[in-house]
Structure 1
Amino acid sequence: MTPHNELRLLPWSSPDGKPCFLSTDDDGSPLSRLADTTEAAQLEVGQELLERAMEVLADAKPMPAELRLLTRDLTEALRVTLRVATSRGHRLPKPDYATLGEGEAGPRLPVAAFG
């Protein structure tokens, strides 16, 4: 649940291109659910574009116009994905460093988790 004193960055902009924010302590509110649904749809479009990019790049001689269009679409998808990641990152619970042991910086992942 988003703390009520935190603003949620919404996955759309105002008509003049400025970021939109939501102040609520109810993650189940209609606007919060709309934002969640919009984020999911935006990420799905990004996944589809990635698959399309892999197809285009597998072509021995892709057309320059197709590459320009794909680059534009991928750039927009990356912008949207970064916005979603920023919004979701701000909503993660803050770690309680007081409960961590001395020298502990937080959870540790095995090296294999990074590929």
Structure 2
Amino acid sequence: MNGTNPRLLPWTGDEGKPCILVTDGTGPLSRLADTVEHVQLEMALGLLGHVDDLLADERATAAQLRFTLARMREALTDVHRIAESRGARLS
């Protein structure tokens, strides 16, 4: 890498705008982004387990389902951003 490779960071800036880092991939901000990506992926995995339990519970309320669906949207947004970032770095 030559230090001019852009990386989509796993968080957004003001008004949901993407954050881009130009990096060689070894600096502290790159390591922080790697850590945040790992946490986001683990959270999404944990949420999937919770969703399985909630869907199996016939007593789940509409409010519980809506809340969980909102969290799933957030997790899917994070996972999509991570996939975009990693895919761009492959090429």
TM-score over 0.5 for the pair? yes
Letter in 1 for 2:81: R
Root-mean-square deviation (Å): 1.3
| Structure 1 position 3, deviation (Å) | 5.2
Point out the structure with the larger helix share. Answer: 2
Q: Structure 2 length as normaliser, TM-score?
A: 0.92
Structure 1 stretches of at least 4 aligned residues deviating more than 3 Å after TM superposition: 2-5
Letter in 2 for 1:28: T
Question: Partners in 1 of 2:3 and 2:88 — Cα distance?
Answer: 13
Q: For 1:56, which of 40, 50, 54 is the aligned residue?
A: 54
| Structure 1 position 17, deviation (Å) | 1.6
Whose radius of gyration is greater, 1 or 2?
1
Aligned: 1:42 with 2:62:
no
Aligned: 1:33 with 2:16:
no
Unaligned runs of 5+ in 2: none
Higher relative contact order (CA 8 A, sep 6+): 2
Instruction: Encode CA deviations 1:20-66: one digit per residue, 9 max, x unaligned.
Output: 000012x2210000000000001111011111000000112311100
Q: For 1:67, which of 59, 65, 68 is the aligned residue?
A: 65
Question: Partners in 2 of 1:83 and 1:31 — Cα distance?
Answer: 17
Count, aligned residues? 91
Point out the structure with the larger strand share. Answer: 2
Q: Structure 1 length as normaliser, TM-score?
A: 0.74
